[in-house]
Amino acid sequence: MSFDPRNILVIDFGQLGDVVLSLPALAAIRQKFPRAHITVAVGKSCAQVVELSGSADSTLVVDRVALRDGPKPWAVMRIIKFVKEVRAAHYDFVIDLHSLSETNLLGFFSGASRRLYARRPGRSLDFLSNFRPHPNAEDKASHAVDRYLGVLAPLGIRDAPRVPKLRTRAEDDAAVERLLKKEKADAGVPLVGLFPGAGHPSRRWPLERFAELAGKLVRETDVRIIVFAGPEEKALVKEMREKFPKGTVIFDRLTIPQLASALARLSVFVSNDTGPMHIATAVGASVVVLLDRRAPDSYLPVSGRHQVIYSSIINDVTVDEVYAAARELLASGRMASLFAS
């Protein structure tokens, strides 16, 4: 293909987990156009994930939550300002991976001469995409990683690596090391991470079960428990401190890069279906994923050692099931370490 853009805007406005699953597509774009300057327009909470991936030269951060929930006049003015910023950058190619009507319009108003959009029936404005050939329409049965990569098929991108990968930074590794040292959790004992949060209550395993799991792991295995909490779990932190075993470390103020560094140190990470779960797999941690059976397989980890536990409703998942899965991953991790040494 003779097409050789030099200033590319990639629109990637998914949630945290979606953006992690889009990383193979971002890496493929970077490899396809090594001489181009690549900017990724991304939600506020996801920008640091893109930066850690190393696939972008810059990010264009949009606080979609503030635009959605803030005063309408302010939101309109901010959108107008954002469109002006995009036009002033003089992009020559726009790729919209997530493809909603509003992001398709943003790509159109950017002034870029070529526009390649994901085709999402009922959600995207396909007539605004002028790159030929068009990608195939979205197949909701396929994995999210493959859906994002499928958008790039018209560029001749085939058989790209499917595994999302994130690299931690030395300064974040050092910051996490200091925090662990302060908690006396740096003595070589395996670390098991727990993430009790979730975007919706129906996807959240009860906090009491996480606490019971932590107690069982502490009693029956030689591990240290780290509980992670993000901004959405702020109201639960006091209860976490009351319910979890003595000696549990609670990290509730980590940045996204620090979270990645902390997750990379874990022997096992037990989590609901969340963005942090996807970050954990991207930095190489073994995960136990707790899912409502209604959750689609298209968002499960694509590689690595992991266990997925389903039930008709997430409240029916038992502590013994999760403990057995975590114990199995701990054992396999120890065996892998022996063979590697």
Taking only the tens place, the pLDDT of each residue in 34-56 is 999 999 999 888 999 999 999 99
Q: Which residues of 251-262 are buried (b: 16+ CB within 10 A; e: fewer)?
A: beebebbbbbbb
Is the pLDDT score of 31 beyond 80? yes
Tokens of 247: 């000696």
Q: What percent of the chain is helix, strand and coil (3-state, nearest 5)?
A: 45, 15, 35
Backbone phi, then psi, for 291, in 5-degree steps?
-135, 145
- Helices and strands of the chain, counted as H and E runs: 13, 11
For 309, the token pair is 């536990």
Token duo for residue 213: 């799991």
The DSSP bridge partners found for residue 225 are: 192
Q: Which tokens go with 231?
A: 């901004």
Phi, psi of 60, deg, nearest 5: -120, 105
pLDDT tens for each residue of 305-325 = 899 998 888 999 999 999 999
pTM metric for this prediction: 0.92
Query: What's the chain's length in residues?
Result: 341
Residue type, 238: K
What are the two backbone dihedrals, phi and then psi, of residue 232, each rounded to the nearest 5 degrees? -70, -20
- Strands of 191-195's sheet, edge to edge? 249-251, 224-228, 191-195, 268-272, 287-292, 306-311
Give dist(CA 232, CA 71) in Å, integer.
22
For the cut 90, the answer to whether the pLDDT of residue 199 exceeds it is no
Omega before 133 within 30 of 0, i.e. cis: yes
* pLDDT tens figures, 229-286: 988 888 889 999 999 999 999 999 999 999 999 999 999 999 999 999 999 999 999 9
Look at strands 114-117 and 249-251 and give their pairing. unpaired
Strand partners, 191: 224
Q: How far apart are CA 264 and CA 283, in angstroms?
A: 5
pLDDT in tens, 60-81: 998 766 666 667 676 667 778 8
- 146 versus 336: which is more confidently predicted? 146
Rg over CA atoms, the chain: 21
Q: What local confidence, expressed as pLDDT, does residue 66 receive?
A: 63
What letter does residue 137 receive in the DSSP assignment? B
- Alpha carbon distance 247, 185 (integer Å): 9
Domains identified in the chain and CATH numbers: 7-155 (3.40.50.2000), 170-340 (3.40.50.2000)
CA quadruple 276, 279, 283, 289: dihedral sign: positive
